[in-house]
Structure 1
């Protein structure tokens, strides 16, 4: 979710769910350790629980980056072994690490030695010509022996040669059954499934089948209200009332005002809010008003309030039309 789940996105998602574990976009260890880009660790305390996802392949450098993440206040440090991006491959990050479980184990061991918070791993079931039924158990065994007890498994292979990152999200077939088999083989590990999950119904089915967790990525981004608003009740058993999508938008106004006072731009926040009313009458006018207006120099919270009012008028008109 590089360039997507930044701190503005996570703040919005936390308004929709109190309990869901949020992940940062992948931050590379070299950027933190060698580049000194510590601003990439910025987050709001309201985001907790939140995990820092790191990219890298040098154990010592990852250990330093993990320590920086712990010092910044993150609840978990996650090593990405699943991203198929060309940018990531060139730095020996992400899914290419599936080819070297020994190195991943060394990285995890070094990171665990450097921090007190939990170190976790996100991986694929394999890459390129690897046979997932052989590769995945070995990967989990070796990295688990290094002390990692929580894995999120994207249930697709990644084709590093011949497919774009976008194609790697759709073309390789999903193999949920293999992930389920790993649940039976590794009873001591906490295993979550990722890839192709678009609804809470699917998430509940995976949990009922014995998996320990479910990671939802793009669906939670493009339709956050549908995925997140009811997650506290259905997944975590939290019966406290939550915010509606409309209330969450209003709750973003003070956050937006604070962002603007520090020199930020409205579009940096509202680009993550475009899908708030996905599938509802008025969603199109909401998206259009934000998309067209948020980049203007004088754009501020008033635009969000105007877009919300336009959405609500469209809702009322649709209700009147249905009644007639």
Structure 2
């Protein structure tokens, strides 16, 4: 994981505009802050996704017939329990494989699930799902869950490679369960990523602490400001960190000195929003077929299930 961080940051800080992939938000503190974000009034996606899983969990379980649930970007495992319960209720599930980049948070969450579900085999995997798909463990009739609209953190080109990579590891009886935030009023979207309490700002700024600790950098979080904007052309939110002054940041472990001009912004996350036809097209391009599509009662969010075409 250390080499992946070095590679991502060296490449991202050499670009204009500068960027760092959002997967590096999730050290232990970042994971805790994100869990707090999911409970904010402004941040609807987690509640909407949970409601869909609760309403349609039995449909998902019966249609997939999953013996193994593999969850990419597993996080705390809160929503996971809805799927685990549904799959256990229909009598198919035997194993759970949580995959996450934050090893400490992952192991803690997996231990809690193991204690609550002693009948399951638990195999926690600390891995970067962008890079390590081919190394993930096999399993019988897998339901591969990629929730939280994390797919939206990728550019269209990255989504194409990722979905193609997933298709490459999927057996004919595997299924993909995907969460996708839908296009809606821009003001609601911006509020969801720039809450009144400043929790999302703290989450964004914590990335600098991850880089300081992991790469010997000397970012001063007090010299950056959280920014969230809506990109109407690409239909996505962008989170950025804006430099409050002219400054130079040293990244010791990479041997880099990175200048930031006052007002210069470093992109830390994109969060694309989706429409059903585009989701179908991207799945089809990767060799996957949309089999089920569920939307919450307010039309904010979708969960879909895809099979090998």
Report the TM-score, using the length of structure 1 for normalisation: 0.28
More helix per residue: 1
Report the TM-score, using the length of structure 2 for normalisation: 0.29
Higher relative contact order structure (alpha carbons within 8 Å, sequence separation ≥ 6): 2
